[in-house]
Amino acid sequence: MSRRLPTELLILIIGFTPVEALYALRPANRALRALATPEAFRAVGCTGTVKSTAGMLNLLASELRVHVEEVHYCDWYATKESETTDLSPEQGDEELLRINLGSALALLHTLPSLHTLSLTFAPIHDGNPLPAHVELQFALFEMIAKLSPAPALRTFVLESLLPFPDFPGTDPRFLSIMDSLRGLTITAASESIEGAISQDPITAFFTASLPPVLDAPRRTLTSLTLVYDEDAGLPRIVLGGLHYPQLERLALTSVLFDEYTGVEAFIIAHAATLLYLDLAQCKIALEESTFVPPRTWTHIYGAFSERLERLTHLEVIDEAESVDEGTDHESGVSFKGRPIRYMEWFWNVGWRSWFEEDQEFSEDEDEGMGEDSGAGSGVVRMTPAIQAVAGDEDALDAFIKVVRERAASRTE
């Protein structure tokens, strides 16, 4: 078959063939081996077991390393296998596991085609990470910081990162691998170790450890993804002041917008280059006892519509109320499913969802501040809070329409 089909067609077929099938295809004949081998070993990885890490180490030390473009580490507890079996990785082999990982990472600079390194750590277990998982995360970062020479990466991915202040964000050795990055993805876990970490250390991570990491690739970065998997108690991620001259893609999840974080200004500052913008479950941060947001999504979407002239892709996903809390007792209307777009800060409580219909006024405060939209049961009083955010949905629809029209005009 390989003699009859054009090489170009075989290459196309191989590009859509699962890796496991490529392994089986290689022994068929020399021609297929030559075509299948680069794709079969383009991306290699291991899980947090001694056997898996040893396998990757052997591969990176072999002649096949010339084909490796991506190296992925995924903790065993983050794999699908861990969800379907009660078996766990070898116990008591943590030292051998780290030796294998360290030896494999030390070979990264010998991979001529390498451009991507991805680390996926263990997910939170029953509200707290296991101590062994925390120690392994620290060990991996220490190994990377000691790499000499540092690998020339274009993409660096950190998934399920525990936001500890010991993250080596200020270590020049660690930052050296960021110099040539074009893509950076950081997904930070929200939970903390009971009795070992508090809000202050988490805040230290976002305010002291993370900023140098975000600043390091400023000259080359084209794609930035920042994800925090929960916004309750979320420290503000400050993006104001950062600038990436080549940034084309930006994805933010559970990031707070306000003057302190400067996220809105950060996005607008990249209007000349930004093509893709994804905002998921992002909120406007309000100070305690704020009845009317000083700046609403109506304002932000309006500014984005006007300034982000090069944007061709937009996706906005709002978090929705998942419970029937806040049901209007007069009308019996449930607020379940309503979008959560604002967060209010309460001391000793943290961030809490803010809804315009929750803002109540005394008779003195209410006088002259709003008007009824009608009479009878279920009538909504048009308080200043409701009036302030009433246009958010329409502003988002208008923003989406503008982006689509601009994208369509560029394809004509």
- Say if residue 289's pLDDT is above 80: no
Predicted local confidence at residue 235, as pLDDT: 62
* 352: β partners: 344
Mean pLDDT, residues 351-372 taken together? 53
Residue (of 350, 344, 342) closest to 202 by Cα position? 350
For helices 131-145 and 94-105, the axis angle rounded to 10 degrees is 30
Residue (of 52, 171, 165, 68) closest to 110 by Cα position? 68
Mean pLDDT, residues 104-113 taken together? 95
- Say if residue 80's pLDDT is above 70: no
Contact between 255 and 263 (Cβ < 8 Å): yes
Query: pLDDT > 90: what percent of the chain?
Result: 37
Contact between 225 and 277 (Cβ < 8 Å): no
Predicted structure pTM score: 0.84
Q: Are strands 339-340 and 319-320 parallel, antiparallel or unpaired?
A: antiparallel
Predicted local confidence at residue 222, as pLDDT: 98
Is the CA virtual torsion 209, 176, 156, 257 positive or negative? positive
Predicted local confidence at residue 321, as pLDDT: 64
- Say if residue 127's pLDDT is above 70: no
Residue (of 190, 162, 158) closest to 174 by Cα position? 158
Mean pLDDT, residues 325-333 taken together? 45
For residue 88, the one-letter residue type is: S
The residue with greater pLDDT, 154 or 339, is 154
Predicted local confidence at residue 336, as pLDDT: 54
Mean pLDDT, residues 336-361 taken together? 68
Q: What residue spans of 16-93 are helical by DSSP H?
A: 19-25, 30-40, 50-60, 81-84
Query: pLDDT > 70: what percent of the chain?
Result: 74
On average, the pLDDT of the chain sits at 79
- Say if residue 118's pLDDT is above 80: yes
- Say if residue 160's pLDDT is above 80: yes
Q: Which of 105-109, 202-206, 238-242, 285-289 has the lowest mean pLDDT?
A: 285-289
Mean pLDDT, residues 198-205 taken together? 66
Q: Which of 9-13, 33-37, 151-155 has the lowest mean pLDDT?
A: 9-13
Predicted local confidence at residue 399, as pLDDT: 96
The residue with greater pLDDT, 230 or 310, is 310
CA–CA separation, 407 and 412 (whole Å):
9
Q: Which of 24-28, 44-48, 290-294, 378-382 has the lowest mean pLDDT?
A: 378-382
The residue with greater pLDDT, 110 or 353, is 110
List, in order, residues 6 or more apart from 77 with CB less than 8 Å away: 48, 122, 123, 125, 133
Mean pLDDT, residues 207-214 taken together? 87
Predicted local confidence at residue 38, as pLDDT: 83
Residue (of 409, 366, 406, 402) closest to 386 by Cα position? 366
The domain spans of the chain are: 1-40, 42-82+90-322+392-411
- Say if residue 254's pLDDT is above 90: no
Main-chain dihedrals φ then ψ at residue 284, nearest 5 degrees: -90, 130
pLDDT band at 171 (very low <50, low <70, confident <90, very high): confident
Predicted local confidence at residue 332, as pLDDT: 42
Predicted local confidence at residue 76, as pLDDT: 83
Tell me the pLDDT tens digit for each residue of 295-307: 899 999 999 999 9
- Say if residue 362's pLDDT is above 50: no
CATH architecture of 42-82+90-322+392-411: Alpha-Beta Horseshoe (3.80)
Question: Hey, is 106 helix, strand or coil?
Answer: coil
